[in-house]
Structure 1
Amino acid sequence: MFLAWRELRHAKLRYFLIGLIMVLIVWLVLFVSGLANGLANDNGAAINSSKATYYVLQKDSDNRLTRSNLTETQADKVTDQVEKTEATNLGVQMGTITPPTKDKKTDITYFATDLDSFMKPDITEGNMAKAKDEVVADISLKESGYELNDQVKDSATGQKFTITGFTKDNTFSHSPVLFTNWDGWDLVHQTNKGAEGAYTAVALHISEKTADKLSLGNLELATSKEVLQGIPGYSEEQGSLLMMIAFLFVIAAFVLAAFFYVITIQKINQFGILKAVGARTAYLGRSIVSQVILLSIVSLLIGNALTFGLAAILPASMPFALSPLLAIGCSVLFLIVTVLGSLLSLYRVAKIDALEAIGRAN
């Protein structure tokens, strides 16, 4: 560590520039990771935040709520097999709303359920909807100018609803969710309860053991994770972003490996002299690794500070979510990548011949 620290102090500009590049890479990796996590949350927060562990869907719906339709009879056959508190019917329908006096349209998703069941949203502002013309909206709807007690009008049916409360982390397919009861569902849904397509699914809050005992007939059972993956565009969106993050780590490994290798090549003569006077390869290797770890830790601290500082000033409409756990995970992975990238330099140091290096120095 002594040799590593002396060299860092001696070549301040060189290592400052390398550190700056590492900070920028860390910043980019963390920002893209936060963006990927934010987009995932914005796409399926209503599924993630619910207590439902399983969903009963129409067969061949590919685990997509928007493709599933259940009759009242089918739903009753499922709910009769579990405890009353463990099952509730669910209606999901994409829609568009406008303020009563304006033409500005906002895409939303209706979630109809029993608002006293485990699927009810947690109210952060206002009160739970009770009447058929009342809804609880995700707080992201405020970004479109809606406030508590405002009226919204369904574009397809012209039905007006009053926002009685706001909830948090309840979005679906990048649109805010409006929770309504079944009387409100009848006002916007185009079929009657006894007809085909009365419900979208049956949400279940049960264990895996109970799920295995269900008799579903021509229906299918999907876990909440499978339903999340079934949201249109969810897997493709996350796959693209995760591939970007993976490539960023690979690029970081190659770039940093090249930088440290070039620096090592420039110091071959000095390493040869140190070997000639008795310095062991292990000591020189520890010096290089110490430099890499020290630069990485400083870069990670600065990069994390910049990322969380930027997140604090981002607009609420930006789907960005970087938890401390995710940041720590990315930081540890980055540290591992940089240390692995330094192995090329260690190999070069191990191959240095002291007499040959001294000869070149002369």
Structure 2
Amino acid sequence: MFLALRELKHAKLRYFLIGLIMVLIAWLVLFVTGLANGLANDNGAAISSNQATYYVLQKDSDNRLTRSNLTKVETEEIAKQVGKSDSTNLGVQMGTVTPPAKDKKTDIAYFGIDKSSFMKPEITEGKAPQTKNEVIADISLKESGYKLKSEIKDSATGNVFQITAFTKNNTFSHSPVIFVGWDAWEMIHQTNQAAKGEYTAVALNVSKSKAESLSLGKLELASSKEVLQGIPGYSEEQGSLLMMIAFLFVIAAFVLAAFFYVITIQKINQFGVLKAVGARTAYLGRSIVSQVVFLSVVSLLIGNAFTFGLAAILPASMPFTLSPLLAIGCSVLFLAVAVAGSMLSLYRVAKVDALEAIGRAI
């Protein structure tokens, strides 16, 4: 470490520029990771944040809630097998709302629930609905100008509801969720007369063994993760972003390897002289790795500070979520990539011939 720090102090500009590039790469990796996580959360937060572990859906629905439709008889049969406390009906329908006297439309997702079940959202502002025309809305609806006691009109049916409470982290397909009771669900649910009163799915809060032991008949079972993957565009969106993150790590490895290899080549004569006076290859190798680790750690600290600082001033409409645990995981991976990129330099140092290097240095 002594040799590594002496060299960093001697060539300040060179290592400052390398460190700056590492900061920018780390910042980019962390920001794209937060964006990918934020988009995933914005697409299916209402599914991932509730207590349901499994869902019973219509067969051949491809795990998509918006394609499933269950009859009251089917939902009652599932409830008999599981128990009313561990199962609850769920209705999901995409919709559009406007203020009663305006034409400004906002895309939303209706979630029909039993307000006393485990699917009820946690209220962060306001009070629980008391009548069928009172609803709970995700707080992101505030971005469209709505607030507590605001009225919303369903564009399809013309029914008017009042927001009495807000909840957080409840979005579906990039739209804020509005939670309604079954009375209100029947008012907005768009079905034919014969299908009136049908549900989308049955949400279960049970173990894997109990869920798999159910007699489903013409229905099918899907885990919460599978339902998330079934949200339109979810898998494709995450696949693209994860591919970008993977390529960023690969690019970082090549860039860092190239930088440290070039610097090592420039110092090859010095390494030869050090070997000639008794320095071991392991000592020189530790010096290179120490430099890489030191620069990487400092760059990651600055990159994390920039990322969380930027996240603090981003608009609420920007879907960005980066937990400290995820940031630490990305930082550790980045550090591993940087050290792996320095292996080429270690190989070059190990192959240095002391006499040949001294001859070139004289």
1:55 maps onto 2:61 in alignment: no
SS in structure 2 opposite 1:117?
Answer: coil
Corresponding residue for residue 31 of structure 1: 31
SS in structure 2 opposite 1:176?
Answer: strand
Deviation readout 1:8-61 (Å, 9 max, x if unpaired): 000000000000000000000000000000000000000011100100000000
Instruction: Give the 3 Å change call, closer, same or farther, for CA 47–275 of structure 1 in structure 2.
Output: same
Corresponding residue for residue 142 of structure 1: 142
Work out the CA distance in 2 between the residues paired with 1:312 and 1:250: 28
Corresponding residue for residue 115 of structure 1: 115
Instruction: Give unpaired runs (5+ residues) of structure 2.
Output: none
Work out the CA distance in 1 between the residues paired with 2:226 and 2:17: 46
Q: Residues 66-215 of structure 1 correspond to what in structure 2 (within 5 A)?
A: 66-191=66-191, 195=195, 198-215=198-215
Question: Contact conserved, 2:186 with 2:197, CA < 8 A, in 1?
Answer: no
SS in structure 1 opposite 2:109?
Answer: strand
Work out the CA distance in 2 between the residues paired with 1:335 and 1:300: 8
Work out the CA distance in 2 between the residues paired with 1:83 and 1:110: 25
SS in structure 2 opposite 1:103?
Answer: coil
Following superposition, the deviation at residue 130 of structure 1 comes to: 2.8
SS in structure 2 opposite 1:166?
Answer: strand
SS in structure 1 opposite 2:81?
Answer: coil
Following superposition, the deviation at residue 194 of structure 1 comes to: 6.3
Match for 2:17: what amino acid? L
Deviation readout 1:56-92 (Å, 9 max, x if unpaired): 0000000000000011111111111112110110000
Deviation readout 1:80-132 (Å, 9 max, x if unpaired): 11121101100000000001111110000000010010000100011122311
Corresponding residue for residue 348 of structure 2: 348
Match for 1:124: what amino acid? T
Corresponding residue for residue 274 of structure 2: 274
Match for 2:94: what amino acid? M
Question: Contact conserved, 2:186 with 2:196, CA < 8 A, in 1?
Answer: no
Deviates more, 1:62-71 or 1:206-215: 206-215
Question: Contact conserved, 1:121 with 1:167, CA < 8 A, in 2?
Answer: yes
With structure 1 as the length reference, what TM-score do the two structures score? 0.99
CA RMSD across the alignment: 1.0
Corresponding residue for residue 228 of structure 2: 228
Work out the CA distance in 2 between the residues paired with 1:59 and 1:346: 58
Corresponding residue for residue 251 of structure 1: 251
Question: Contact conserved, 1:192 with 1:198, CA < 8 A, in 2?
Answer: no
Work out the CA distance in 2 between the residues paired with 1:341 and 1:210: 48
Corresponding residue for residue 326 of structure 2: 326
Work out the CA distance in 1 between the residues paired with 2:238 and 2:213: 33
Following superposition, the deviation at residue 192 of structure 1 comes to: 6.8
Following superposition, the deviation at residue 197 of structure 1 comes to: 7.3
Could you list the runs of 4 or more consecutive aligned residues of structure 1 that deviate by over 6 angstroms after TM superposition?
none
Corresponding residue for residue 9 of structure 1: 9
Question: Contact conserved, 2:150 with 2:163, CA < 8 A, in 1?
Answer: yes
Match for 1:102: what amino acid? K
Corresponding residue for residue 307 of structure 2: 307
Following superposition, the deviation at residue 193 of structure 1 comes to: 8.5
Following superposition, the deviation at residue 195 of structure 1 comes to: 2.1
Corresponding residue for residue 288 of structure 2: 288
Following superposition, the deviation at residue 337 of structure 1 comes to: 0.3
Match for 1:288: what amino acid? I
With structure 2 as the length reference, what TM-score do the two structures score? 0.99
Question: Contact conserved, 2:135 with 2:163, CA < 8 A, in 1?
Answer: yes
Work out the CA distance in 2 between the residues paired with 1:133 and 1:153: 11
Aligned length: 362
Deviation readout 1:120-167 (Å, 9 max, x if unpaired): 010001112231111100000000000000000001111100001000
Work out the CA distance in 2 between the residues paired with 1:5 and 1:213: 63
Instruction: Give unpaired runs (5+ residues) of structure 1.
Output: none
SS in structure 1 opposite 2:107?
Answer: strand
Match for 2:25: what amino acid? I
SS in structure 2 opposite 1:148?
Answer: coil
Deviation readout 1:157-206 (Å, 9 max, x if unpaired): 11100001000100000000000000000111123786277100000111
Match for 1:173: what amino acid? S
